[in-house]
Structure 1
Amino acid sequence: MPTENISFENHQGKRLAGRLELPSGNTRVWAIYSHCFTCSKDSLAAVRLSRALARRGIGVLRFDFTGVGDSEGEFEDSHFSANVLDIVSAAGWMAEHLQAPALLVGHSLGGAASLGAAVRIPSVRAVVAIAAPSEPAHVRHAFSDHIDEIRDQGAAHVDIGGTGSYRITREFLNDIEAATLDDCVRTLNRALLVMHAPGDDVVGIEHASHLFRTARHPKSFVSLDDMDHLLTDADDAEYVAAVIDAWSSRYIKQVLG
């Protein structure tokens, strides 16, 4: 099953790095996978889930948000609004070079960004939010000890979950605090699948409940049982991919057929 490296420009003219996971046979549909906060296109969940979807005939573009991984830019510019626009830029590249995506799959903050981007991408017919927060400001918990410093000094270098040191600016903080999802979810007009583990200790299950209650039909909820937030178990990624494949086929058929 081939993987191809690609790059594309975002709305700021920055080059974003991506990888295409290509099915061995015919590609039934194209999807964009959006990674979690401080993760990358090469995180375990991103790689395993994208490849598991490709084995099921779903071509996937996974890419690094602005300032993350191999993409250009600074991490401080990778706020929620920028993530949303990066997904829209990825969809534009796919429409020009492959086929416009019909499916968005996002993990954690990437799931929230996928919900924000879906209404801006006419080709999208289904969205999957995995362990996603119902409000982008939830990520403040990752640097809560530094919020006063960020507000007072304009920026702070913080260690987040042992993944590295990141410069968080006042503008970054203001962006995630101003961003809301309720209107996006309420007016999504696409099929929505919310997937969440009841015991998720990073993003609580109440976030999934709020997303599900806010959304209109068609909507579905699948419990991820005892899976961890980062989906580090390979079998868990296979399960999630199998569910996404089965669930989305009903809505994608309406596009492809």
Structure 2
Amino acid sequence: MPTERISFNSRTGDRLAARLDLPEGPVLATALFAHCFTCSKDIPAARRIAARLAAMGFAVLRFDFTGLGHSEGEFANTTFTSNVEDLIAAAEYLADRQLAPDLLIGHSLGGAAVLRARADIPSARGVVTLGAPFDLGHVTHHFDAALSEIEAKGKAEVTLGGRPFVIGKEFVDDIRAEALEPAIEGLKAALLVLHAPLDETVSIDNAASIFTAAKHPKSFITLDDADHLISRAEDAEYAAEVIAAWAKRYIDMAPPAPPPGAPEGVLRVTEADPDGFLQDVQSGPHHHALADEPLAYGGTNRGMSPYGFVSAGLGACTSMTLRMYARRKGWPLESISVDISHDKVHAQDALPSGPAKIDQFTRRIRLSGPLSDEQRSKLLEIADKCPVHRTLEAGARVVTSLATSDPLEE
């Protein structure tokens, strides 16, 4: 996944640090990601969700709010309203690059911010919240013990997530005065609410209130036993897959015309986990799968193995070929199933140097329906004419080259 390190000006003139994650191919849509309270653009959930969306054709901008991460400014001087203004500045930066955001994604307090900012980001056709609060006053629960000092002195230092932060009275007053319901009612965009029922930081009641206040189209998906920070890789990946699948209903992600000689377009495989073997397999904007290795071979077993995909291609092609033939003949073929197993077997004549192993795919076909013995025999013969079968038996030529380092130059 190519990533650009960029910066842009907030509305108060501070430089905000950001990363623009790009797909390794054409940009089909753009997403703007807002991180959680006192977090940063680089927390694991943000990185993983951005990586998965980039593999699906999204350009994803994630940035540090003023005074956090690598961004300039004093956190003590920020408010919820200033966070919303940072989001609008980020959207304006994207629009200047002809990448106006189609989708706004916000995690925790960032989710509340994208709900509030949508009215000022007209290009956004979808809004996604992850563990977002409806009642912003819940944020003060993180520093209840310091509220009296904040009221008396105008600010106080608190410890959040093991790090010191200065919270100002203006921030507290701002979140207490903020009412999200009017912004949600007037969202004028499709809404996806993602929340974990066991979230101990922001209760599931907040998600129910956001969903109830919103007008259709709206969707509510549980994140099951995920924690508030969505720290587990599998939870972040699930969230990203749900977001991408949902967004396609509301965002035009039509790909450009396929290149000459590739009528089905280019199938792109992108590494999803550099510490393991997990791969994103993306065929155009509509078809996504995972490839992996079994646990015994160092993988995480979250997708079929590469040989599993080859076997799937043979089985699917066989079934389709039989259906097309029986349909053309008008035969009473009711259903088809194909079992494929793959193994390496010895072949004495495979190489001039002596015994070697070749790949063997064993195929077992089940045909249902009142077919005659002659019809069944003919269909078994037709199975050997399936294009993938012929490719495997005849062999294929693989032409390999190195791509340019910058996908935008391709």
Query: Does TM-score exceed 0.5, indicating one fold?
Result: yes
Q: Hey, what does 1:152 align to over in structure 2?
A: 152
Q: Hey, what does 1:187 align to over in structure 2?
A: 186
Q: Kindly indicate whether the alpha-carbon contact (under 8 Å) linking 1:155 and 1:168 is maintained by their aligned counterparts in 2.
A: yes
**Residues 171 and 256 of structure 1: CA distance in aligned 2, closer, same or farther (over 3 Å):** farther
How far apart in 1 are the matches of 2:179 and 2:90? 22
Q: Hey, what does 2:229 align to over in structure 1?
A: 230
How far apart in 1 are the matches of 2:255 and 2:204? 34
How far apart in 2 are the matches of 1:146 and 1:75? 16
Question: Which structure: larger Rg?
Answer: 2
Q: CA deviation at 1:135?
A: 2.2
Q: Hey, what does 2:294 align to over in structure 1?
A: none
CA displacement 1:93-134 (0-9 Å, x = unmatched): 000013110100000000000100111111000000000000
TM-score by length of 1: 0.97
Q: Kindly indicate whether the alpha-carbon contact (under 8 Å) linking 1:154 and 1:170 is maintained by their aligned counterparts in 2.
A: yes
Q: Letter of the aligned partner of 2:28 in structure 1?
A: R
Q: Letter of the aligned partner of 1:186 in structure 2?
A: E
Q: Hey, what does 1:120 align to over in structure 2?
A: 120
TM-score by length of 2: 0.61
Q: Letter of the aligned partner of 1:239 in structure 2?
A: Y
Q: Letter of the aligned partner of 1:23 in structure 2?
A: P
SS at match of 1:141: helix
For residues 15-26 of structure 1, the aligned pairs below 5 Å read 15-26=15-26
Q: Hey, what does 2:70 align to over in structure 1?
A: 70
For residues 4-153 of structure 1, the aligned pairs below 5 Å read 4-153=4-153
How far apart in 1 are the matches of 2:77 and 2:92? 20
Q: Kindly indicate whether the alpha-carbon contact (under 8 Å) linking 1:30 and 1:103 is maintained by their aligned counterparts in 2.
A: yes
How far apart in 2 are the matches of 1:29 and 1:113? 21
Q: Hey, what does 2:216 align to over in structure 1?
A: 217
Q: CA deviation at 1:255?
A: 10
How far apart in 1 are the matches of 2:122 and 2:255? 14
How far apart in 1 are the matches of 2:69 and 2:135? 24
SS at match of 1:246: helix
How far apart in 2 are the matches of 1:187 and 1:241? 26
Q: CA deviation at 1:33?
A: 0.4
**Residues 256 and 25 of structure 1: CA distance in aligned 2, closer, same or farther (over 3 Å):** closer
Q: Letter of the aligned partner of 2:143 in structure 1?
A: F
Q: Hey, what does 2:323 align to over in structure 1?
A: none
Q: Hey, what does 2:199 align to over in structure 1?
A: 200
Q: Kindly indicate whether the alpha-carbon contact (under 8 Å) linking 2:28 and 2:253 is maintained by their aligned counterparts in 1.
A: no
How far apart in 1 are the matches of 2:159 and 2:254? 44
Q: Letter of the aligned partner of 2:193 in structure 1?
A: V
| Dislocated runs of 4+, deviation >4 Å | 254-257
Identity %: 51
How far apart in 2 are the matches of 1:126 and 1:152? 42
**Residues 159 and 208 of structure 1: CA distance in aligned 2, closer, same or farther (over 3 Å):** same
Q: CA deviation at 1:77?
A: 2.6
How far apart in 2 are the matches of 1:161 and 1:131? 17
How far apart in 1 are the matches of 2:244 and 2:253? 15
How far apart in 2 are the matches of 1:44 and 1:15? 23
CA displacement 1:61-95 (0-9 Å, x = unmatched): 00000000100101113321011010000000000
How far apart in 2 are the matches of 1:52 and 1:78? 31
Q: Kindly indicate whether the alpha-carbon contact (under 8 Å) linking 2:26 and 2:255 is maintained by their aligned counterparts in 1.
A: no
In angstroms, what is the RMSD of aligned CA positions?
1.4
How far apart in 2 are the matches of 1:20 and 1:118? 20
Bigger relative contact order, structure 1 or 2 (CA pairs below 8 A, ≥6 apart)? 1
5+ long unaligned stretches in structure 2: 257-410
**Residues 117 and 190 of structure 1: CA distance in aligned 2, closer, same or farther (over 3 Å):** same
Q: CA deviation at 1:235?
A: 1.1
SS at match of 1:239: helix
Aligned pair count? 256
SS at match of 1:119: helix
CA displacement 1:15-47 (0-9 Å, x = unmatched): 100001100111110010000001000111111
How far apart in 2 are the matches of 1:42 and 1:227? 19
Q: Kindly indicate whether the alpha-carbon contact (under 8 Å) linking 1:125 and 1:255 is maintained by their aligned counterparts in 2.
A: no
How far apart in 1 are the matches of 2:2 and 2:133? 32
How far apart in 2 are the matches of 1:58 and 1:108? 22
SS at match of 2:170: helix
Q: CA deviation at 1:148?
A: 0.9
Quick check: 1:167 aligned with 2:166? yes
How far apart in 2 are the matches of 1:256 and 1:26? 8
Q: Which moved more, 1:201-210 or 1:135-144?
A: 135-144
Q: Kindly indicate whether the alpha-carbon contact (under 8 Å) linking 1:142 and 1:161 is maintained by their aligned counterparts in 2.
A: no
Q: CA deviation at 1:161?
A: 2.6
